[in-house]
Structure 1
Amino acid sequence: MPARVGGTLAENLVGENNDITVVDTNGERLRTLQDKFDLRVVQGHGSHPRVLREAGADDADMLVAVTSSDETNMVACQVAYSLFNTPNRIARIRSPDYVRDADKLFHSDAVPIDHLIAPEQLVIDNIYRLIEYPGALQVVNFAEGKVSLAVVKAYYGGPLIGNALSTMREHMPHIDTRVAAIFRHDRPIRPQGSTIVEAGDEVFFIAASQHIRAVMSELQRLEKPYKRIMLVGGGNIGAGLARRLEKDYSVKLIERNQQRAAELAEKLQNTIVFFGDASDQELLAEEHIDQVDLFIAVTNDDEANIMSAMLAKRMGAKKVMVLIQRRAYVDLVQGSVIDIAISPQQATISALLSHVRKADIVGVSSLRAA
């Protein structure tokens, strides 16, 4: 397991009466985990039979393979299935080439993976939902998309601001919604009917997906739908987003690798692709950044994403969104000049927990660090 995903998953599960064993090639990383949590560690390659045997694969209920190598994760699941008959096998698979043919590749008669976690696709889905609901900080679907949990910042102009939560039913008698949590000044408070909603509160609510916009309108003036979107980064996420958005939106994409930019220009149907640096003020000005409704930076460089988004916002982009790998950065930047910070790690952990946790849980989402 890599430090970010494997360590965070272990942290979430170790306190729930689970016997956790973490396998990694990095001994120092393992010692740090063992010092912090009550778990076993084994140093070695997670796809090697000897290492898996030492880790207790012969009587394990589940194997979760989340290394940075798709191939290692696939082999680990194959070894666990063939040699140890491990009943449940979960793997993180990043490459679109594998994900595209997942139904044919990953089953008991081929590569025996029960549940596939594709981080890039999770991020694309997450960003797409936020584009569907302008003004939301986060939207998570449950029950096959019929029910959603949304996170919205309360602003002056929303009818509920300055009023008790109980008045929401008076305003919307035919809509069933529940406020699950409120964050005020970065601290959670338990919502009750008498709780007064204040401007600046982050409100977490659950409703039927078709009613999300109506509930949002109680907390802020609804934003106009996005039309013009600028993407930065032509990797798996940027290319996947462009492909998904270009039918319904005006999309521009900036890629700093000339060869990759040329490839994307050929592959994408209606996206305008530029070779250049998103921190280049002249380029942004030439492409009318002041007319962009949403600027999304999704390169693999956190600092580059943050700086280009801050520049875009200063030059007139209406809203900016950034991809951030480092967990500590997410809450640090969101709500400042950066409107929304997207964490691939958070999305991956949520998906993993949905499969790993037992009982009658059908969906789990990691929403905000307390």
Structure 2
Amino acid sequence: MNIIILGAGRVGESVAESLVSEKNDITVIDTDPRRLRALQNRLDLRGVTGNGIHPAVLEAAGAPDAEMLIACAALDETNLVVCKIARDLFNVTTTIARLRAAEFQDGQTPDTRASFGVDKVICPEASVTRYIHKLVEYPEALQVLEFARGRVSLIAVRAISGGAMVGHIISELPQLVPRSAMRFVAIYRTDERGSDRQILCDGATRIEPGDEVFVLAATKDIRRVLDTLRLRDEPVRRVLIAGGGKVGLRLARQLAADCRVKVIEANAQRCEYLATQLPGDTLVLNADSTDEELLENANVRDTDLFLALTSDDEDNIMACLLAKRLGAKRVLALINRRAYADLVQGTQIDIALSPAQTVIGELLTHVRRGHVEAVYSLRRGDAEALEAVAHGDRKSSKVVGRRIEEVALPAGSQIGALVRGVGDAAEVIIPHHDTVIETGDHVIVFLPHKRMVREVERLFQVGAMFF
């Protein structure tokens, strides 16, 4: 697919890295030639220096032949104008804009497609907020991702001693946890060198303490799934947020109703603004979140969840390490650099979250071939989970009318759940090897490697004739 990306900042860079790895033809536009050169030296893509609002720059980037434009510039206004020009002058099929203003997500502005030619709006700040809010709801989980309009969830959890399934093999699940429909789709285990590796996940696999386990189940059964793998954590009631930027403010607003929230912000002017936007019982501290004495005075030892959400990766890492050492039960660091995220994940920092990675899935939904409803990038972009809709019949489809065991999935990938029917009549099915896929089924597939994506996409493409 020919794709133009406007903006070579952190989001644009992450989007380009993800899409290049899937052998798309990528062109990146940016006003900074040094940033483009650094990107071209690292990735197989083309760079065009200039302002994307100018039609001549878009034309030089190949807009007449582009199938998709992703506008990730710093300003919302720039992204809207570029999408409008791309649609009206160059007939670009799909336009996606990164928009930070909350009004564009809340429906307070005119329809973006009709007014600006934008097919899809993405907002990393909103995506990060939704992600963290799920972790507050389920504090035992490392990740909770929803499919089929929230009917099915993929849960990532670290197994610990005390869970019903820990120390047992997967085939013992029906006896140990009766009436629990779930599917273990992947297990990652730390080896003697400290590196994570995926292990075979079948009925004979034994779940050990420390394993990172990915499980698919009906959303209504999430709590039961978590209880099988670890003892239940106390609900999150006390939250300390380091960083009062867009993400910090969004999250503090959402959590204030159910939690006692404190916000640490280094900028005095921003603190004054936060005080006007948050409930009166929310404490806003004008201080440095890496100040050990400050964290002690803020009673970090009594905090259920410490969130480091500043724009500085190093400050977030240091603040989390300090908070953990001082007694915070659980810490999360917002980290933009992938190398840092890989380095700290699974150490004293419980969760390392990349803002760009949270929106990659939203973009990949539009890039995927076949009828793909949802895509999530997992394990810092190495693995993927997608929801595809089966269409056609046995003659025109490679999946419809076939048992699960007959579907030619890549080695290591798994079909973890099916959703059959629509509306209130929709049924969540945890399939067995002899379950037959029907047309219209929403099929949730886990892929341990992104290189398998094309094979799975081809399975769900309907042909005029299939031999």
TM range (shorter): over 0.9
CA distance in structure 2 between the partners assigned to 1:25 and 1:39 by the alignment: 16
CA distance in structure 2 between the partners assigned to 1:333 and 1:43 by the alignment: 35
Shift of 1:79: 0.6
The reply to whether residue 338 of structure 1 matches residue 349 of structure 2 is: yes
Q: Which residue of 2 aligns with 1:43?
A: 49
Counterpart residue identity of residue 297, structure 2: E
Q: Secondary structure at the match of 1:311?
A: helix
Asked if the contact 1:231/1:251 (under 8 Å) is kept, the reply is: yes
CA distance in structure 2 between the partners assigned to 1:298 and 1:7 by the alignment: 20
CA distance in structure 2 between the partners assigned to 1:288 and 1:21 by the alignment: 49
Counterpart residue identity of residue 64, structure 2: D
How far does the alpha carbon of each residue in 1:196-225 deviate from its partner, in whole angstroms, 9 at most, with x for none?
111111001111111112111111111111
Shift of 1:64: 1.1
Shift of 1:300: 0.6
Q: Which residue of 2 aligns with 1:64?
A: 70
Shift of 1:35: 5.2
Counterpart residue identity of residue 42, structure 1: V
Q: Which residue of 1 aligns with 2:324?
A: 313
CA distance in structure 1 between the partners assigned to 2:13 and 2:140 by the alignment: 32
2:19 is aligned, of 1, 5, 13, to 13
Counterpart residue identity of residue 78, structure 1: K
How far does the alpha carbon of each residue in 1:313-360 deviate from its partner, in whole angstroms, 9 at most, with x for none?
111111111111111111211221111111101102122112222312
The reply to whether residue 92 of structure 1 matches residue 98 of structure 2 is: yes
Q: Which residue of 1 aligns with 2:146?
A: 141
Q: Which residue of 2 aligns with 1:173?
A: 178
Counterpart residue identity of residue 310, structure 1: L
Counterpart residue identity of residue 325, structure 1: N
The reply to whether residue 187 of structure 1 matches residue 197 of structure 2 is: yes
Q: Which residue of 1 aligns with 2:314?
A: 303
Q: Secondary structure at the match of 1:350?
A: helix
Q: Which residue of 1 aligns with 2:370?
A: 359
The reply to whether residue 263 of structure 1 matches residue 273 of structure 2 is: yes
Counterpart residue identity of residue 364, structure 1: V
CA distance in structure 2 between the partners assigned to 1:34 and 1:311 by the alignment: 37
Q: Secondary structure at the match of 1:309?
A: helix
Shift of 1:37: 5.0
Q: Which residue of 1 aligns with 2:388?
A: none
Asked if the contact 1:115/1:355 (under 8 Å) is kept, the reply is: no
Shift of 1:105: 4.9
CA distance in structure 2 between the partners assigned to 1:282 and 1:9 by the alignment: 39
Shift of 1:72: 2.0
Q: Which residue of 2 aligns with 1:164?
A: 169
Q: Secondary structure at the match of 1:316?
A: coil
Shift of 1:18: 3.6
CA distance in structure 2 between the partners assigned to 1:29 and 1:6 by the alignment: 11
CA distance in structure 1 between the partners assigned to 2:205 and 2:253 by the alignment: 43
How far does the alpha carbon of each residue in 1:202-255 deviate from its partner, in whole angstroms, 9 at most, with x for none?
001111111112111111111111111111111111110010000011111111
Q: Secondary structure at the match of 1:303?
A: helix
Asked if the contact 1:165/1:197 (under 8 Å) is kept, the reply is: yes
The 1:71/1:253 distance shift into structure 2, 3 A limit, reads same
Say how many residue pairs are matched. 369
How far does the alpha carbon of each residue in 1:23-82 deviate from its partner, in whole angstroms, 9 at most, with x for none?
233445445555555544433222220111122212322211122332221111011012
Shift of 1:103: 5.0
Q: Which residue of 1 aligns with 2:206?
A: 196
CA distance in structure 1 between the partners assigned to 2:276 and 2:73 by the alignment: 32
Q: Secondary structure at the match of 2:316?
A: helix
TM-score (norm 2): 0.75
Q: Secondary structure at the match of 1:45?
A: coil
Asked if the contact 1:2/1:68 (under 8 Å) is kept, the reply is: no
Q: Secondary structure at the match of 2:240?
A: strand
Point out the more displaced range, 133-142 or 2-11.
Answer: 2-11
Asked if the contact 1:149/1:206 (under 8 Å) is kept, the reply is: yes
CA-based RMSD of the aligned residues comes to 2.0
Q: List runs of 5+ in structure 2 lacking aligned partners.
A: 1-6, 191-195, 383-467
The 1:15/1:304 distance shift into structure 2, 3 A limit, reads closer
User: As a proportion of its length, which structure holds more helix?
Assistant: 1
The 1:100/1:303 distance shift into structure 2, 3 A limit, reads same
Asked if the contact 2:331/2:349 (under 8 Å) is kept, the reply is: yes
1:242 is aligned, of 246, 252, 262, to 252
Q: Percent identity?
A: 47
The reply to whether residue 116 of structure 1 matches residue 121 of structure 2 is: yes
The 1:67/1:213 distance shift into structure 2, 3 A limit, reads same
The 1:181/1:305 distance shift into structure 2, 3 A limit, reads same
The 1:256/1:10 distance shift into structure 2, 3 A limit, reads closer
How far does the alpha carbon of each residue in 1:270-304 deviate from its partner, in whole angstroms, 9 at most, with x for none?
42212222223332222222211111111111111
Q: Secondary structure at the match of 1:322?
A: strand
Point out the more displaced range, 256-265 or 232-241.
Answer: 256-265
Q: Which residue of 2 aligns with 1:220?
A: 230
Q: Secondary structure at the match of 1:206?
A: strand
Asked if the contact 2:158/2:212 (under 8 Å) is kept, the reply is: yes
Counterpart residue identity of residue 170, structure 1: Q
1:288 is aligned, of 288, 299, 304, to 299
How far does the alpha carbon of each residue in 1:146-173 deviate from its partner, in whole angstroms, 9 at most, with x for none?
2111110111111212211121232233
Q: Which residue of 1 aligns with 2:137?
A: 132
Q: List runs of 5+ in structure 1 lacking aligned partners.
A: none
Asked if the contact 1:123/1:344 (under 8 Å) is kept, the reply is: yes
Counterpart residue identity of residue 179, structure 1: F
Q: Secondary structure at the match of 1:363?
A: strand
Counterpart residue identity of residue 26, structure 2: I
CA distance in structure 2 between the partners assigned to 1:258 and 1:212 by the alignment: 41
